Each structure stands twice: as structure tokens, then as C-alpha cells.
Amino acid sequence: MKIAVLVKQVPDTETKIKTKADGSGIEADGVKYIVGPYDENAIEEAIKTKEKNAGSEVTVISLGPVRSVEAIRTALAMGCDKAIHIDDENSNPDAYVTAKALAKVIADKGFEIVFTGKQAIDQDNSQVTQQVAEFLGWPQVMLVEKLEIAGGKATATRRVSGGKEVYEVPLPAIFGCEKGLNTPRYASLPGIMKAKTKPVETLKLSAEKGDAQPKVVLSNFRLPPEKAPGRMIAGDAAAQVKELVRALREEAKVI
């Protein structure tokens, strides 16, 4: 079985983000990048699927700048067999262009099942998985809580408000993973060493996206304004209540 897992390199949530002076984007200097947390669950599920199906292999696919190879190597160290890096050539593609390119590579390489994370934690759009499935004409299930594969079909269970839904879909198909589906393994030292020699094929976004053009262009990046400091009201309880009511009515204008 040919298995693919889509991975995105994202800023660590503990990294302090700075915007460029002209508002054109984020300053990359000093930013720590990691594999998307939900993508780790997708990697784990892909590897588990390989282990249950003899003769299978897992290819990790990542679209992004050259630094994305670091995330690719992490996935290879966890147990993926090989990788494809689609170099975006610093073009900052939107979800539409990204999905177009990924779908083309998936179709060209003949993958039978694809795993993705729930969403990337940088832009939080949760759009690429569904668009890839649409371009491929494949069934997709978001978000998977349990997955079983047998006889060319997959049975996927997902949580919904007040219960669960169970889907039976034919392969090829694409599945979005979230925390709780599994516990991602750590990359072992032997795995890290082996990852250095595993093949990484490099493609260019310009060649894979065809004539697709972005539907969304981001501009004017700004950090949210600093939160105003708290205000302490002095006096006894009666005076504090009177002043608080006045401030809420006349200053905050919420009552």
C-alpha cells in the first residue's frame, strides 16, 4: 500500500512573533519552527497503517520553503520511508494553490491513502485537506477518532456533537487526524541517524500547481494591540461599587 502523509512546518507556539516593518509578513529571524502538532498524529497513523499492511511504505510530503526539510527529516526519523519536498520558492501560496499542487503530486505518485493533520496552527484555516480531496475526487473524513482498513475499504469513526458517526469509504481516500486518535512516537537516535540517508525528492511549486492562482492574498500583517493595564478602585465596598457602576456606564458604556 502506498501511503502519504502531509506535513507542514509551523512556528512553535512559544515563539514570539514579530511582523515586518512594512506589514508584508512575519520576521523569520529568531523563529523556532516545528512539525505541526496535529501532523504528528497523522504521521503516527500513517506509520501504524504501514505496520499493519505488509509491504507498505510511507512518503511524507511537505510544501514550503527550504527550511521545511527540517520537518521532513523529523517525520523520516519517526519512521516514514521517504519524502517529497515541494519548494514554494518563497511565493507564500494560499490554501487553494497549496491543495492544487499537493493533489497533483498525490495523483502522479499513485498513493492509495493520505493522512493529514486536523489543521496547521499558524493560519488555522483547516482548508487544505478538504480541497485536496475535492481536486482528487476522493472521499475524505474529518476528523478521525478511530480508523480500520480492510478489503480496500476504510471504516472511520468521528466525533460529532452528542455522539459519533461511522463512515465506510472506498480507497483511495484522505483522512484528517487530531489528538486522541493515537500517541505520536518519539524519534529514536537510530531513527534520527537513518533519516539522514532516506531519500528526499525536491519538486518546484511553479511546476506542480499548473495555472492555479491564489484566491486569497494576505497583507498588512499587524500584532494585536497591547492589552490596557488593569485599574484598581480604592475605598470601602460601597464606594467601590458606586465608582465601578459609574465607570461601566460612563467610560466603558456597557450598561
CA-CA distance, 245 to 132, in Å (whole number)?
54
**Going along 23-133, which residue ranges are E strands?**
33-35, 57-64, 82-87, 113-117
Q: What value does the mean pLDDT take over residues 19-25?
A: 82
Mean of pLDDT over the chain: 92
Range list for CATH 3.40.50.620 in the chain: 2-208
pLDDT at 96: 96
pLDDT at 215: 92
CA-CA distance, 151 to 1, in Å (whole number)?
12
High-pLDDT (> 70) share of the chain, % = 100
In this prediction, residue 230 has a pLDDT band, given cuts at 50, 70 and 90, of confident
Q: Is the pLDDT of residue 200 over 90?
A: yes
Q: What value does the mean pLDDT take over residues 216-239?
A: 87
Q: What is the 3-state secondary structure (H, E, C) of 205-243?
A: HHHHCCCCCCCCCCCCCCCCCCCCCCCCCCCCHHHHHHH
pLDDT at 27: 82
High-pLDDT (> 90) share of the chain, % = 71
pLDDT at 185: 93
Q: What value does the mean pLDDT take over residues 244-254?
A: 91
Q: What value does the mean pLDDT take over residues 129-143?
A: 95
CA-CA distance, 14 to 122, in Å (whole number)?
12
Give the C-alpha distances (Å, rounded to integers) separating 66 from 87, 170, 183, 191, 202.
Answer: 6, 35, 28, 22, 10
Q: Is the pLDDT of residue 192 over 90?
A: yes
User: Under a CB-based contact definition with an 8 Å cutoff, are residues 195 and 35 in contact?
Assistant: no
Q: By mean pLDDT, which of 60-74, 193-207, 213-227 is the weakest?
A: 213-227
> How many whole angstroms from its chain centre is CA 194?
25
Q: Is the pLDDT of residue 86 over 90?
A: yes
Q: Is the pLDDT of residue 24 over 90?
A: no
List CB contacts of 216: < 8 A, sequence separation 6 or more.
94, 95, 96
pLDDT tens digits, 29-38: 888 899 999 9
In this prediction, residue 141 has a pLDDT band, given cuts at 50, 70 and 90, of very high
CA-CA distance, 180 to 84, in Å (whole number)?
27
Q: Is the pLDDT of residue 219 over 90?
A: no
In this prediction, residue 189 has a pLDDT band, given cuts at 50, 70 and 90, of very high
Architecture field, domain 2-208: 3-Layer(aba) Sandwich (3.40)
CA-CA distance, 181 to 177, in Å (whole number)?
7
Q: Return the number of other C-beta atoms located less than 10 Å from residue 181's C-beta.
A: 23
pLDDT tens digits, 149-165: 988 999 999 988 888 99
Tell me the three cell numbers of residue 244: 465601578
pLDDT at 160: 86
| Cross-strand pairs, 117 | 177
